[in-house]
Amino acid sequence: MTVSSTPSARGGRLAIPSVLMRGGTSRGPFFARADLPDDDETLARVLRSALGSPHPLQVDGVGGGHPLTSKAGIVGPSTEPGVDLDFRFAQLRPDDDSVDMNANCGNLLAAVVPFAIEAGMVVPVEDTTTVRVRTLNTGAIAHISVRTPEEGGVRGVEYAGDTRIDGVPGTSAPVTIGFLDTAGSIAGSLLPTGNRRDTVELPGVGAIDVTCVDNGQPLVIVDASVLGVTGRESPAELTANPELRERVEALRLTCGELMGLGDVSGRNYPKMTLVSPPEDGGALTTRSFIPRVVHESIGVLAAVTAATACVLPGTVAHELATLPTANDTDTTLAIEHPSGAFEVRLGQDPGDPTRITRSALVRTARALMAGELYVPLGIWNP
Ligand code: NQM
């Protein structure tokens, strides 16, 4: 696979080297940091043009008309001692012109190391390559391992394998991700309101209990039944329910303030997580508003955060969850979602099993296409 080395101008357009990657259940173009503008305003213009935002189909770009396929990754060598790569995640949207670089995305994160190897930023020397990656959006550090066997005298990423993740067809090689210290990634602390449960007034519904929690992704966890649904509906059914969407958004705005996140009307967090008892042998059933449409499965750090809430007595999640038998240092929970389940291993402090110190999970990734992404020269003239 070849990725040309620098942006170049021809025919009124700028050709920027890029690899289109699937990471977990998300997809987006990846770029080397050195190939993109330094200032965020020009960067946002370039990304909007590359993805084709805003437009419902993103027909004039490589976005897929859904928030999960309206993402981009920017990767470069890290400036932080002890870290190999810096990853910047950009969330774009088909329905508006926002370019949000404040949130985490553990799914696209799964594609960072394969991209860095494709782009020559990381040279594999063993059958498994483990790289420390910092997500610049929040400072979260992940240890990511990918398979890099030798083939014809050259080591590269092995994409084929027998790992299946729910929400993606087929099987691929595993990408393992371990996180340390993700508590309060955006909201500042694991329980940003200081409580495991808060009661808030929701117009048209009354007083309802929520858990506001952030172990990598700020979530508001609410019992689906108090919002008049079972929590087992399909994403399309929930997204097509205007009264529910209005209530969920009103609750999000209220909880955003409570969590110290300010006015979140233009933000992609907190994610609103409707929960119900597990249906299929897992710990908890979830439906995740991200935040205006419903996720086809669940975000990576959203799953880590929901799993964390499950093991904390007093939370809305704990009350509805079926917890697996745990030892004092490790619990593996299956967070059920519309396309199956997401397994998260939580590492616990032996002195206090409710203190989560690390998490680990498996994703897959695939390089879909490599080449140049064109944007009109008026957008950026390097
Ligand atoms: O929570 C979608 C995704 C995500 C985010 C979203 C994610 C995470 O599935 O770490 O991965 O919640 O907007 O890509």
Q: For 214-239, how does the pLDDT look when each residue is reduced to its tens digit (9 = 90+)?
A: 999 999 999 999 999 999 999 999 99
pLDDT at 7: 84
Token pair 């809305």 is found at 316
Distance (angstroms) between ligand 1 centre and the Cα of 106 equals: 6
Residue 290 CA to ligand 1 center (angstroms) comes to 8
- Predicted pLDDT of residue 325: 80
Query: Is ligand 1 within 6 A of the CB of residue 61?
Result: no
- The CA-CA-CA angle for residues 285, 288, 293, to 5°, reads 140
Which segments in the chain show pLDDT lower than 70?
A: 1-5, 328
- pLDDT the model gives residue 1: 43
- Please report the pLDDT score of residue 230 as a whole number: 98
Q: Is residue 187 part of a domain?
A: no
Q: What is the pLDDT of residue 8?
A: 85
pLDDT reported for residue 3: 55
Matching residue, tokens 């499965």:
297
Shortest-distance Cα residue to atom 3 of ligand 1: 299
Give the integer Cα–Cα distance in Å for 301 and 45. Answer: 27
Is the minimum distance from the CB of 25 to ligand 1 under 6 angstroms? Answer: yes
309 shares a domain with 226 = yes
Same domain as 59, residue 13: yes
Look at residue 232 and tell me if it is in a domain: yes
Does 183 fall in a domain? no
Q: Do residues 63 and 124 share a domain? A: yes
| Residues 156 and 279 placed together within one structural domain of the fold | no
Q: How many CB atoms lie within 10 A of CB 86?
A: 18
Is the residue at 193 inside a domain?
no
Q: Is residue 182 part of a domain?
A: no
Please check whether residues 118 and 245 belong to one and the same domain: no
Asked if residue 162 and residue 81 are part of one domain, the reply reads yes
**pLDDT value at position 343?**
98
- The residue whose C-alpha atom lies closest to atom 2 belonging to ligand 1 is 299
For 121, the 3-state DSSP assignment is coil
CB 150 within 8 A of CB 360: no
Flag whether 179 is in a domain: no
* Whole-number pLDDT of residue 320: 98
Residue 144 counted as domain residue = yes
- Looking at the structure, tell me whether residues 371 and 344 fall in a common domain: no
* pLDDT for the residue 350: 84
pLDDT of residue 157: 98
Quote the ligand 1 centre to 125 CA distance (angstroms). Answer: 31
Q: d(Cα 83, Cα 118) in Å, to the nearest integer?
A: 19
Residue 262: give the domain boundaries: 198-350
Residue 354's pLDDT is: 77
Answer yes or no: is the C-beta of 106 below 6 A from any ligand 1 atom.
yes
Residues 316 and 167 in one domain: no
Nearest Cα residue to 362 out of 107, 26, 99, 192: 107
Question: Could you say which DSSP state residue 68 is in?
Answer: G
Ligand 1 pocket check for 271: Cβ under 6 Å: yes
Pocket test for ligand 1, best of 217, 264, 268, 362 (most atoms within 8 A of CB): 217
Instruction: Tell me the best of 26, 182, 185 to mutate to test the pocket of ligand 1, counting ligand atoms within 8 Å of each CB and taking the most.
Output: 26
User: Which residue among 300, 335, 344 has the greatest number of ligand 1 atoms within 8 angstroms of its CB, and so is best to mutate?
Assistant: 300
**Predicted pLDDT at 285:** 98
Q: In whole angstroms, what is the distance from residue 262 CA to residue 254 CA? A: 9
How far apart CA 82 and CA 45 sit, in angstroms, is 32
Both 141 and 233 in one domain: the answer is no
Domains contained in the chain, number: 2
Whether 156 maps to a domain, the answer reads yes
Distance 32 CA to ligand 1 centre (A): 22
How confident is the model at residue 130, as a pLDDT?
A: 98
15 and 64 fall within a common domain: yes
CATH code, 118: 3.10.310.10
Nearest to 256 by CA among 271, 272, 270: 270
Helix (H, G, I), strand (E, B) or coil at 210: strand
Any ligand 1 atom below 6 A from CB of 177: no
Residues 148 and 208 reside in one and the same domain = no
Q: Which of helix, strand or coil describes residue 185?
A: coil
- The answer to whether residues 218 and 333 belong to one domain is yes
Q: Is the CB of 217 under 6 A from ligand 1?
A: yes
